Chain A
């Protein structure tokens, strides 16, 4: 039997509906009591919600992962791609910073000596030709580079241009076994011939056997006629060991090149060095030893115990 209701029931419904309409009216009129009621409820609920959030979070994360599995995978792939891109950018930036440092060094050196240089970027280490120790640079005849020109780094001599192409050039490194350069010792002006050994170390053969050579002496390029293939005054390296065998016909010494050939990024080709001789101006300054800090400890004897 369908419920028809009675007067009491109808009255209750009317009272409840009027109450709700009363509440709506109060709220819309901005009565403070209603706002306070809501604020109070929220204040009381906040700790419960925090506890609920803490308790539910593992399950929620699991459900979220399940429901958005495809999206999560896409997001991971996207973030990985972005990460790779950023890493590459950072690597390029570090590379660019290193190249800039090298360029600053080489321009400082060329500027001090008064050489006119063309900056170049090393685009290849090694060569497909017969040279065992060579690099390829990104400037060539179009930039005024010719064969038998001196190539510098920020630390000193790199080598000599051997072959020139319109937009590139092959440079024979000073470390190449076939490389020879007339060198002089800074200060004493003793001369000799330095030859590459395939490593960062070369061998100096002095022409005058009576002169003395010492460990730590700095070698500079003697220079060629017309500044080609070598401009004068370019730092080459320093003497690391001297062979003073009594029976030797000539005095020889081991030399460590200033330039680290394996880390070359930016070099400069001296396109005009004729008439400029910086003499010993390019000799690198000797390293200043860092003073070792000393600590002085004062010990005050404790008073003897008294009985």
Chain B
């Protein structure tokens, strides 16, 4: 990842973070709504190499840790996002069956968000946080999956375009 790519990526994720904090959190959506930064980071990672995916996860996770809606200690989301974004990037990288197919990227992103939240939950329990009852956890995860499946196809084209421009790649979805 060149310095140029890093400089371009930072304001993009900063804007997404501000949109998440200032706009998305204002809506009282059913089933808990969605996290725009999480979805964008996972789509971005799915289009990138594993190293860039890990770095993306680190930056996005750091921002999510700074969010007022984050209840865990600083670094918890960072750790989860590094693992999640790296995993998504690792699964997609070099496999054209996944990367060239938007449905597969949406599926990968949806599974990635749910998995990230599950890992965050498990890590939180290990760190002594209250998790709530099973029913609420289930509905929250189901809501995450639902909203990610709705939102990510809408964002995919835009993120793919920006990603291609930032990294100077000619191939776009």
Contacts and interface: CB of A to CB of B under 8 A. Distances in A.
A24 B22 contact: no
Contact of A2 (B21, B66, B78, B95): B95
A291 B127 CA distance: 82
Contact of B75 (A1, A22, A53): A22
B27 A63 contact: yes
Contact of A3 (B68, B75, B93, B127): B93
Nearest to B73: A27
Interface residues of A, number: 38
A67 interface: yes
Contact of B58 (A1, A16, A37, A67): A16
Given A3-B94, A48-B22, A12 B79 contact: no
Contacts, number: 98
Contacts of B57: 16
A81 interface: no
Given A38-B66, A48-B22, A60-B26, A23 B94 contact: no
Interface stretch (B38-46, B47-55, B141-149): B47-55
Given A3-B94, A38-B66, A48-B21, A12 B55 contact: yes
A16 B26 contact: no
A21 B76 CA distance: 8
B168 to A, nearest CB: 20
B34 interface: no
B73 A24 contact: yes
B112 interface: no
6 contacts: A1-B94, A17-B83, A26-B74, A27-B74, A28-B73, A56-B26
